[in-house]
């Protein structure tokens, strides 16, 4: 089962909270997250220069922020789906698709997508600030550090952001884990709070561009 | 005459640096105003303040009777070029303008094509903006600024990178816009552009106007 690329990249890390951090599975989990952040960073850089001609055409900063934020989330979903499909296509190409159940694919994909949506929302928010160049690195660090904390401190693991996208750490998996409903609500909350912070920041900001 | 833009006692500080220092100026319709000054003198900050991209530390900017940052965030009757215009490099010039026009939804395809032709660009060209020369980008910048027929044009170095023919074309477009009653404010390093085009010229240094405005030809 573990030979499936889809499981390696998107199901998460199943090991318990004892012993050394499983570096290979950890790296495999961070790999698609890293690609996602790289693509988002590239898009951010490519579109930044055009914003000066775009922003004022929206008439109000709030109109622009709604469009901008929605765009980030939409790009996030699009990129995340592409990554999922790539892994599935790889598994089909090498004949390993048969080890995947529909349930596993769907549940892993849902958790991964919701996690990526919240990460895209955070990306859109942080990109407003002068630290925008560091955003992909900062989010990768957030994902990695919160996973390590959750791995080391079992009691805190359900509250750790870096765990939330992992099917094998969720209550949907046979060994149990974080409550899926609560975590999905929390991820939606992260996205909503990111939107609100961005809106308030822009209202108060003295230098938009 | 009622001023289209009023900049009233505007000061802008970035930390300890005073980028604009008690600027007072009025811009009226049917005129071309030139703002000259060396790099870092405050021209671009003044332009961004008038657009609404930078909020003044003190003072206010009123466009068409509405205060920027209070009554409105951005004026809706403006066309701008600030610094080197940035476009989406993977799209053609036409696609870029179509995208920009889709935000306000005020003009159709014909008007976009017309604007591109007016600045000497082929709207049917398949060339991506990423392959454009600096001059072509600048022409596209002018096209996006004028395409929605705005009452006010704020142009920071609009002749940047243009060849002689390009400069001539843009000068003619700006003079045409002036005849249509638009207010044009442009910054340029080129004294000839300023002398040929501008009715009134302000010189900036260290965030201030250095002297009373001069009339065209007195530079």
What pLDDT, in 10s, does the model give residues B18-64?
999 999 999 999 999 999 998 899 999 999 999 999 999 999 999 99
A209 in a domain, yes or no?
no
CB pair distance less than 8 Å for B86 and A208: no
Nearest to A47 among B74, B88, B100 (CB): B88
Give the per-residue pLDDT at B160.
87
Mean local confidence (pLDDT), A16-25 = 79
Q: Under 8 Å CB-to-CB from A55, ≥6 apart: which residues?
A: A61, A64, A208, A209, B53, B74
Percent of chain A scoring above 90 in pLDDT = 74
Any domain includes A156? yes
Residue A88 lies in a domain: yes
**A37-41, A129-133, B9-13, B202-206: which has the minimum mean pLDDT?**
A129-133
pLDDT, tens digit (0-9, with 9 covering 90-100), for A48-63 = 888 999 999 999 999 9
Euclidean distance between CA atoms B23 and B105, whole angstroms: 35
| Count of domains for chain A | 1
Most A CBs within 10 A among B103, B130, B145, B155, hence the mutation to make, goes to: B103
Q: Inter-chain contact A209–B53, Cβ cutoff 8 Å?
A: yes
Inter-chain touch A53–B80, beta carbons under 8 Å: yes
**Mean pLDDT, range B112-120, rounded to an integer:** 95
Of A46, A48, A56, the CB nearest to B74: A56
DSSP 3-state percent helix, strand, coil across chain A (nearest 5): 75, 0, 20
**What pLDDT, on the 0 to 100 scale, is given for residue A126?**
94
Q: Which residue of B has its CA nearest to A64?
A: B103
Locate the chain B residue with the closest alpha carbon to A206: B55
B214 pLDDT more than 80: no
Q: What is the pLDDT of residues B168-194, one digit of tens each?
A: 999 999 999 999 999 999 998 888 889
Mean of per-residue pLDDT scores for chain A: 92
Q: What is the pLDDT of residue B29?
A: 93
Pairing verdict, β B214-215 and B200-205: antiparallel
Of A49, A59, A205, the CB nearest to B74: A59
Q: Nearest CA to CA, how far is A66 from chain B (Å)?
A: 13
Q: What is the pLDDT of residue B213?
A: 76
Q: What pLDDT does residue B1 have? A: 64
Domain of A108, in residue numbers:
5-11+21-204
Residue B203 has pLDDT above 60, yes or no: yes
The reply to whether A194 falls in a domain is yes
B chain contacts of residue A209, beta-carbon cutoff 8 Å = 48, 53-54
**Which among B57, B73, B90 has the least Cβ separation from residue A59?**
B73
Q: Are B44 and B82 in contact (CB under 8 A)?
A: yes
Between B71 and B219, the more confident residue is B71
The full set of domains in chain B, from first to last, is: 1-77+151-219 (3.40.50.300), 88-149 (no CATH)
Q: For residue A64, is it within any domain?
A: yes
Closest-CA distance of chain A to residue B99, Å: 9
Per-residue pLDDT, A47: 81
The residue of chain A nearest to residue B57, with distances taken between CA atoms, is A206
Residue linked to tokens 């997508």? A113
Q: Kindly state whether residue A16 falls inside one of the protein's structural domains.
A: no
Rounded average pLDDT over B83-95: 90
- CB nearest A52 (choices: B75, B82, B89): B82
Q: Which two tokens stand for residue B21?
A: 């220092």
pLDDT for the residue numbered A133? 85
* Mean pLDDT value across chain B: 92
Mutate to test the interface with B, among A49, A54, A57, A66 (most CBs of B within 10 A): A57
CB contact under 8 A, B103 and A47: no
Q: Among residues B165, B175, B111, B113, which one has the least CA distance to residue B135? A: B165
Q: What is the pLDDT of residues A80-104, one digit of tens each?
A: 999 999 999 999 999 989 889 999 9
């Amino acid at each position: 089962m573990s030979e499936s690329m889809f499981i390696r990249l998107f199901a998460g890390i199943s090991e318990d909270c004892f012993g050394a951090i499983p570096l290979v599975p950890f790296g495999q989990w961070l790999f698609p997250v890293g690609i996602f952040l790289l693509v988002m960073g590239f898009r951010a850089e490519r579109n930044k220069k055009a914003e000066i001609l775009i922003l004022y055409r929206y008439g109000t900063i709030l109109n622009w922020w709604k469009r901008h934020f929605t765009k980030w989330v939409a790009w996030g979903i699009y990129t995340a789906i592409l990554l999922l499909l790539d892994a599935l296509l790889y598994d089909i190409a090498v004949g390993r698709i048969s080890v995947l159940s529909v349930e596993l694919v769907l549940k892993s994909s849902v958790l991964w997508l919701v996690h990526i949506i919240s990460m895209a929302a955070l990306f859109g928010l942080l990109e407003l600030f002068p630290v925008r160049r560091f955003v992909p690195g900062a989010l990768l660090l957030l994902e990695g550090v919160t996973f390590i904390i959750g791995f080391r401190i079992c009691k805190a693991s359900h509250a750790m952001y870096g765990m939330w996208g992992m099917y094998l750490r969720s209550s949907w998996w046979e060994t149990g884990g974080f409550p899926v409903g609560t975590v999905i609500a929390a991820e939606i909350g992260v996205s909503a709070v990111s939107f609100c912070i961005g809106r308030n920041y822009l209202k108060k900001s003295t230098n938009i561009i | 005459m009622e001023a289209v833009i009023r900049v009233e006692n505007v000061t802008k500080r970035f930390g300890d640096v005073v980028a604009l220092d008690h600027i007072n100026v009025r811009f009226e319709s049917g005129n071309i105003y030139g703002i000259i000054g060396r790099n870092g003198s405050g021209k671009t900050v003044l332009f961004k303040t008038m657009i609404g991209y930078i909020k003044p530390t003190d003072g206010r900017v009123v466009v068409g009777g509405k205060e920027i940052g209070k009554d409105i965030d951005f004026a809706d009757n403006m066309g701008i070029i600030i610094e080197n215009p940035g476009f989406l490099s993977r799209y053609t010039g036409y696609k870029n303008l179509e995208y920009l026009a889709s935000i306000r939804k005020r003009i159709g395809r014909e008007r976009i094509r017309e604007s591109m032709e007016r600045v000497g660009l082929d709207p049917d060209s398949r060339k991506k903006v990423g392959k454009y020369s600096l001059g072509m980008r600048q022409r596209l910048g002018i096209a996006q600024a004028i395409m929605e027929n705005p009452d006010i044009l704020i142009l920071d170095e609009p002749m940047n990178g243009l060849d002689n023919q390009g400069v001539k074309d843009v000068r003619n477009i700006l003079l045409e816009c002036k005849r249509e009653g638009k207010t044009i404010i442009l910054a340029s390093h080129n004294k000839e552009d300023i002398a040929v085009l501008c009715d009134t010229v302000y010189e900036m240094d260290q965030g201030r106007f250095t002297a009373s405005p001069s009339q065209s030809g007195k530079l």
